[in-house]
């Protein structure tokens, strides 16, 4: 899990039908706090292979990697079971 180096307001929506599960709520709360999807970390290609042909149309942005100067990984390795990993 990495934290993006951005500032400013964060919108946070818990609208139905999506945010009825505690895991989904925690996932979205972490995004509001600035945390990024694990598959967007700069070093992700050392840990996983992205099958771009399997990405749903319109979801490509969820797999764009951050540059090293855009996110702080806190010296952690890739966490395959991390809560902010995107299941798609």
Active site residue 28: yes
pLDDT in tens, 11-70: 667 777 767 778 888 888 887 887 888 889 999 999 889 999 999 999 999 899 999 888
The residue from 28, 38, 60, 82 that is catalytic is 28
The H or E element spanning position 24 is: helix 22-32
* pLDDT confidence bin for 86, thresholds 50/70/90: low
Going by C-alpha positions, the residue among 32, 38, 27 that lies closest to residue 8 is: 32
Q: What is the pLDDT of residue 52?
A: 93
Question: In angstroms, rounded to a whole number, what is the distance separating the alpha carbons of residues 42 and 39?
Answer: 9
């Amino acid at each position: 899990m990495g934290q993006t180096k951005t500032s400013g307001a964060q919108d946070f929506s818990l609208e139905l039908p999506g945010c009825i599960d505690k895991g989904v709520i925690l996932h979205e709360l972490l995004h509001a706090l600035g945390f990024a999807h694990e598959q967007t970390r700069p070093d992700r290609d050392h840990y996983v292979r992205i099958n771009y042909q399997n990405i749903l149309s319109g979801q490509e942005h969820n797999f764009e990697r951050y540059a090293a100067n855009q996110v702080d990984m806190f010296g952690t390795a890739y966490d395959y079971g991390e809560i902010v990993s995107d299941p798609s």
